[in-house]
Structure 1
Amino acid sequence: MRVDEQWVRDISAVDYTSRVTVRNPKSIEACVKLKESTNARVCVGRAGTRYRTETLLRFLADHAAANDSVWSDVDESLVDRLGFFKIKTLVRDKQEYITRPDLGRKFSKDTIEEVKARCIVNPDIQIIAADGLSAFAIDANLEDTYSIISDRVRAKGYKMGTPIFVKYGRVATMDAISEALNAKVTVLLVGERPGLVTNESMSAYMAYDSSTVKPESQRTVISNIYNDGTPTVEAGAQIAYLIELMMKEKKSGIDLKL
């Protein structure tokens, strides 16, 4: 296969959005149209009862990229540059993070006390970022999304809390932080579990008066934040709009009428 007339060693560099590998298709135009309508692995052809070599290699490459994202760490120079206060859950390392989801939802008492002592209390808006299951998602999307949210929220005159980055964090960490700081609206930007389409997808979980005793239905969610999903600029604007709506209605999740 060739890209820009040069041989490519990395099969993941090939654009498969319109590449049809079915041999002698009845309608190449129909195949291209189908490929462009979905990220699914369609119109790839076969060799007997098996995948073609090219299809299998691309599958393995995408699977490896997903694994890399799960096992990698967020670039901490990014969160430092954005001014995030860094904390960690009870998880000791990445292996434990994968095998003990419960520990990724909890903090030590010392960590909670440090948050109370070093972060702004009683904020209107508390922004949190967590690595989740995709470090690459945070690396790729956090800066633009956070910048748009913070600019729009400040323009509305809301009191912004100290931005917090949680290493080895899962969604429920937002509840403990919200309770500790008595935040009105809490927003968690977290890396999604990567798939074979992308390893850079981020989600935003939002809640009014987030609490460890409230159900999951308290959360409002925007998912698939990445270049080929919901772009960061659009996501940031949507999140800012929802923050304003939550502040006005004093509710979130299934109680918030959009």
Structure 2
Amino acid sequence: MSDLWDALRGRTSARIGLGRAGDSLPTERVLEFAAAHAAARDAVHQPLDAGGLAKELESVGLGEPLVVTSRAADRGEYLRRPDLGRAPGDLSRIPHAGGDVGIMFADGLSPVAVAEHAYGLLMALTDVLGERYSIAPPVIATQARVALGDHVGAALGVDTIIVVIGERPGLSVADSLGVYLTHGPRPGRADADRNCVSNIHPPGGLDYATAARVTAALVAGARQLGRSGVDLKDNSRAITPPPE
């Protein structure tokens, strides 16, 4: 049976107008919450099929993806020791390809998001970046935090590293990606040296084409400015005033 809240629920993922059953919530709402909580936990703990993802990404045509890992031995250690997720394991197989842009896919806190959206986002990024910049073969990193991209970018020898990572899942969305861009990647970069595009999970969040367009604008801005981070602003959504 519909109620006055139905129209608003269709416009937000927030839990609103849940109703009451005596002194508690209706059973339907309790079960919805439990299912969302379980989905968030599963998104964190489900391992990324790096080999399967590599085969999928290879079809984009940027070269054979390389798979690396952090110093975290397993998922439990990764969650307990964020510092190990930022530190590289063996990067000796990464070629010093050089080039303008490198792209690293990191499982982060939602391997599910990477498995679901990596291919679509890489296609969109290739469409907007491929004609202007040289792109190194993609890298897939497991048990990885954002800062691992600094080591990968330095090993690749690229001017800018784009880290696509699974964002921390919530009770509304468990499969969201974030993009972190660092110009001049090297070990020791701080969060203030990065720019972020978040909430990428079509159809409910940012779509691939828009996320890629914003990222491309940040790449261009970073190359012009000579750095990324707090001094670099996203002008991709700027509205050009109508002519007088």
TM class by smaller structure: 0.7 to 0.9
What code does the residue aligned with 2:88 have? F
Which SS does the other structure have where 1:82 is aligned? helix
* C-alpha RMSD of matched pairs (Å): 1.7
Name whichever of 209-218 and 129-138 sits farther off: 209-218
> Gapped runs of 5+ residues in structure 1?
1-18, 21-27
The residue aligned with 1:89 is 70
Percent identity, aligned pairs only, is: 31
Which SS does the other structure have where 1:114 is aligned? coil
Which SS does the other structure have where 1:186 is aligned? strand
Relative to its length, the structure with more helix (as a share) is 1
The residue aligned with 2:151 is 176
Does residue 114 of structure 2 align to residue 112 of structure 1?
no
Sort the Cα spacing of 1:100 and 1:159 in 2 relative to 1 into closer, same or farther, 3 A.
same
Aligned positions of 1:200-211 closer than 5 A: 200-211=175-186
| Contact 2:56-2:119 at 8 Å conserved across structures | no
| Contact 1:144-1:233 at 8 Å conserved across structures | no
Q: What is the TM-score normalised by the length of structure 2? A: 0.87
TM-aligned CA deviation for residue 46 of structure 1:
1.3
| Contact 1:90-1:103 at 8 Å conserved across structures | yes
What code does the residue aligned with 1:145 have? L
TM-aligned CA deviation for residue 48 of structure 1:
2.1
The residue aligned with 2:17 is 43
* Poorly superposed stretches of 4+, deviation over 6 Å: none
Does residue 111 of structure 2 align to residue 135 of structure 1?
yes
| Contact 1:120-1:162 at 8 Å conserved across structures | no
Deviations 1:97-137 (A, max 9, x none): 111111111113xx13222xxx2432210100000011110
| Contact 2:218-2:232 at 8 Å conserved across structures | no
| Contact 1:120-1:161 at 8 Å conserved across structures | no
Aligned positions of 1:1-258 closer than 5 A: 28-29=3-4, 31-76=5-50, 77-83=52-58, 84-108=65-89, 111-115=90-94, 119-156=95-132, 158-227=133-202, 228-258=204-234
* Structure of larger gyration radius: 1
CA distance in 1, matches of 2:154, 2:23: 56
Which SS does the other structure have where 1:137 is aligned? helix
Q: What is the TM-score normalised by the length of structure 1? A: 0.82
